Amino acid sequence: MNTKIFKTIPIYSLCLLLTIALSSCERAPDDIRTQLSGKLLVANSEQFLPNAKVDLVYVTGGLYTSFDRILDSTRTDSLGNYSFDFNIDFDKRYGTYQLVSSYPNYYSTRDITGPFPTDGKHFELGGKQTYNPQLHPFAWLKVKLNFFSNAYAFSMNRTFGEFEGVIINNPRQQEFVVKTKGNANNVLSFFIDTPDSLITIIDTIYCGNNDTALKIINY
């Protein structure tokens, strides 16, 4: 008489084997494909910028030590249009991806927003996306002082990214020029330190495209 012996597998062991088998069959998440296109414009206008350099970058590092890793580059066509078709690893979907655009005699998009813009991103990942970056042209502001009363000092806050501030001791009749954003309203603060008080003047000054605006301050 032959006796057959059957070994049973505990139920928990069977569940473990099934879990391992199913997990091994799971497919890794797909890369995120993005078809990004748009038009590079002059800020606050409908004018476009042809043959401009546009970089698709991945920003790494922190606020004060950021680095751009260029993923792709192109140039705008004769009508200012650009396009990118790219894939991002699913695991890197929460990274910071931006366009850095530049053009002669214009501030780049990096100059305008810095490495981490206030809205956190330039465009969404996935599917068809449209983003129309705007570049500010260079402009200049001439400040003319006509001081006939005693003042200890004149100063002004820094304009957009181009100088550290102006301080003039014992101001009289003089003038100076600073570089700033064109096609834009520039909000500036001027300070006059007098023997009696500190006078603050806040003004909004429009500067045109590659143009020079004039501000006269009398005291």
Give yes or no for a contact between 97 and 125, defined as CB atoms under 8 angstroms apart: yes
The Cα 158–Cα 144 span in angstroms is 16
pLDDT digits (tens, 9 = 90+) for 139-152: 999 999 999 999 99
Q: What is the DSSP string of 173-191?
A: EEEEEEEEESSEEEEEEEE
**Pair (129, 142) in one structural domain:** no
Burial 9-44 (b: 16+ CB within 10 A, else e): eeeeeeeeeeeeeeeeeeeeeeeeebebebbbbbbe
Q: In terms of residue numbers, what domain contains 174?
A: 138-218
Return the bridge partners of 207, or none.
Answer: 184
Looking at the fold, whether 127 and 38 belong to one and the same domain comes out as: yes
Cross-strand bridge partners of residue 99: 56
Residue 84 burial class via C-beta count within 10 angstroms: exposed 0-12, middle 13-18, buried 19 and up: buried
Considering the domain architecture, whether residues 131 and 149 belong to the same structural domain is answered as no
Dump pLDDT digits (tens) for 17-75: 555 544 555 556 778 899 999 999 999 999 999 999 999 998 876 655 667 788 999 99
At residue 132, does pLDDT exceed 50?
Answer: yes
The structure's pTM equals: 0.73
In the listed set 80, 115, 135, which residue is the last one of a domain according to the structure? 135
